[in-house]
């Protein structure tokens, strides 16, 4: 877990204090965009399309994907995290520490890219095939960001499980340049640690009695304050003294499943499968439809080891992502079958369209000359 890579501290900008930090989650999003764009350009050239179009498509996908993923998260968590805040809009716009639902991003990104390709009269099925493995590669970097940020964590597991992960109370920045902050800098309490404190020992969480008393927020009479769900409220890293922060650096959560690393591996495997199948496809659009089938199947399974959403498969109590996965699997299967009734090719290639456009321009020029 590495929430903050570099913490430059605070600067005063027009009377407002602005934090200058490079977050691990944001850094992974940037790296994912760079590598995904590189792969997409190579695939576009191999598929006979203009690589320069990919930059525009990539930017549209990035922006709309983040907006869609954040919007889905806000809708789901509105009552728990946003409705009661004095400035909910500020919290909604703050994505530096995660809070994105991948399926929401995929839906909006696909819709925006489809509209752009339609407007530019580009072969939609071909471009969706180009982008399918790229989307999975971007997801792998996103899950790396989740690992650094500590979100999308796994459920409790046995202490002797060799792949178990223990998240800290908060992480130290790799480089802390703010001499006014304690060792945690601008890091926040890890999601795992907050969750295990909130649920308590009766539900597999941490026992507040085992933690130092100075870690909790207290009222004027010294009593520990509790949130609306009854869990004790922890001090944020910024509220700790230097000495308290040094002691808190040794605090760890109870062992949890490695959900984020499994997500990274899963995304990379699907990326490889889609790249391999790209050479075998008979009709354009099959690679994209295969992504719609493979990823939801694996996501449904991975949700079973997640600890941030309540679920019980035996009682048919599914997470929102599992419901969405079922819908996407059905859509992917329907699309794969329907492609049999489409022509194998989605249309002419870039050089063919360019040549036809050039001939059209030459024809117009010749007609204008004859009129003169």
Q: Which residues of 45-73 are buried (b: 16+ CB within 10 A; e: fewer)?
A: eebebebebbeebbebbbebbbbbbbbbb
Of 43, 102, 58, nearest in space to 76 by CA: 102
Tell me: the pLDDT tens digits for 235-284?
889 888 889 999 989 999 999 999 999 999 999 999 999 999 999 988 99
Predicted pLDDT at 98: 56
**Quick one: pLDDT at residue 298?**
94
Mean pLDDT over residues 117-122, rounded? 86
Alpha helices in the chain (DSSP H): 24-46, 51-77, 88-93, 102-119, 124-149, 191-199, 242-248, 259-278, 286-303, 320-338, 350-371
- Residue 197: alpha-carbon gap to chain centroid: 25
pLDDT at 109: 83
CA 305/CA 324 separation, integer angstroms: 17
CB atoms within 10 A of CB 300: 20
The angle formed by the CA atoms of residues 123, 39 and 141, to the nearest 5 degrees, is 115
pLDDT of amino acid 246: 92
* Mode of pairing for the β-strands spanning 16-23 and 4-13: antiparallel
Mean pLDDT of 120-146: 91
What is the predicted pLDDT for the residue at 345?
81
- pTM for the full predicted model: 0.84
* Amino acid 314: pLDDT: 65
Q: Which two tokens stand for residue 186?
A: 């601008």
The stretch 347-361 carries a mean pLDDT of: 68
Rounded to whole angstroms, how far apart are CA atoms 33 and 143?
13
Q: Output the six-digit token pair for 259.
A: 């959900």
Predicted pLDDT of residue 372: 53
The structural domains of the chain, with segments of one domain joined by +, span 4-156+257-362, 179-248
The tokens describing 103, both together, are 């399926």
User: In b/e form, how buried is each residue of 335-345, taking b as 16+ CB within 10 angstroms?
Assistant: bbeebeeeeee
* DSSP conformation letters of 148-181: HHT-SPBPB--TT-TT-B--BSS---SEE--TTS
Share of the chain above pLDDT 90, in %: 28
The 10s digit of each residue's pLDDT in 36-87 is: 999 999 999 998 888 888 888 888 888 887 888 778 777 766 666 656 566 6
For residue 366, the model assigns a pLDDT of: 52
Q: Which of 24-38, 297-311, 336-350 has maximum average pLDDT?
A: 24-38
Burial of 108: CB neighbours in 10 Å, binned 0-12, 13-18, 19+: buried
Mean pLDDT of 210-229: 84
Confidence tier at 106 by pLDDT (50, 70, 90): confident
Q: Phi, psi at residue 160, to the nearest 5°?
A: -90, 5
Residue 194 CA to residue 119 CA, distance in Å, equals: 47
Determine the average pLDDT of the residues in 100-108. 73
Give the pLDDT of residue 232. 85
pLDDT bucket at 358, cuts 50 / 70 / 90: low
Model confidence at 317: pLDDT above 80: no
Q: What is the mean pLDDT of the segment spanning 192-205?
A: 85
Stretch among 79-93, 114-128, 154-168, 325-339 having the lowest mean pLDDT = 79-93
For residue 367, is pLDDT > 60?
no
Distance of CA 32 to the CA centre of its chain: 10
């Amino acid at each position: 877990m590495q929430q903050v890579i570099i913490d430059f501290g605070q600067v005063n900008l027009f009377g407002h204090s602005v934090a200058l930090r490079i977050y691990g989650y944001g850094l992974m999003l940037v790296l994912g965009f760079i590598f995904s764009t590189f792969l997409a350009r190579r695939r576009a050239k191999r598929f006979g399309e203009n690589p320069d179009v990919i930059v525009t498509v990539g930017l549209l996908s990035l922006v709309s994907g983040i907006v869609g993923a954040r919007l889905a998260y806000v809708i789901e968590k509105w009552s728990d995290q946003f409705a009661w805040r004095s400035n909910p809009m500020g919290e909604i716009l703050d994505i530096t520490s995660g809070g994105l639902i991948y399926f929401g991003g995929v839906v909006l990104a696909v819709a925006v890219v489809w509209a752009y390709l339609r407007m530019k009269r580009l072969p939609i099925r071909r471009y969706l095939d180009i982008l399918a493995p790229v989307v999975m590669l971007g997801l792998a970097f996103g899950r790396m960001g989740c690992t650094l940020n500590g979100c999308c964590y796994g459920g409790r597991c046995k202490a002797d499980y060799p792949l178990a992960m223990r998240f800290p109370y908060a992480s130290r920045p790799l480089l802390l340049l703010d001499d006014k902050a304690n060792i945690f800098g601008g890091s926040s309490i890890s999601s795992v640690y907050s969750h295990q404190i909130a649920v308590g020992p009766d539900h597999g969480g941490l026992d507040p009695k085992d933690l130092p008393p100075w870690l909790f927020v207290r009222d004027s009479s010294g009593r520990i304050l509790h949130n609306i769900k009854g869990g004790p409220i922890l001090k944020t890293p910024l509220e700790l003294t230097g000495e308290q922060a040094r002691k808190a650096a040794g605090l760890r959560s109870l062992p949890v499943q490695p959900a984020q690393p499994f997500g990274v591996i899963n995304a990379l495997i699907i990326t490889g499968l889609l790249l391999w199948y790209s050479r075998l496809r008979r009709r354009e659009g099959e690679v994209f439809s295969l992504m719609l089938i493979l990823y939801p199947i694996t996501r449904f399974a991975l949700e079973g080891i997640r600890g941030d959403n309540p679920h019980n498969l035996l009682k048919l109590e599914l997470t929102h992502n599992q419901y969405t996965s079922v819908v996407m699997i059905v859509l992917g299967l329907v699309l794969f079958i329907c492609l049999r009734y489409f022509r194998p090719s989605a249309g002419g290639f870039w050089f063919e369209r360019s040549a036809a456009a050039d001939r059209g321009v030459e024809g117009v020029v010749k007609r204008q000359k004859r009129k003169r």
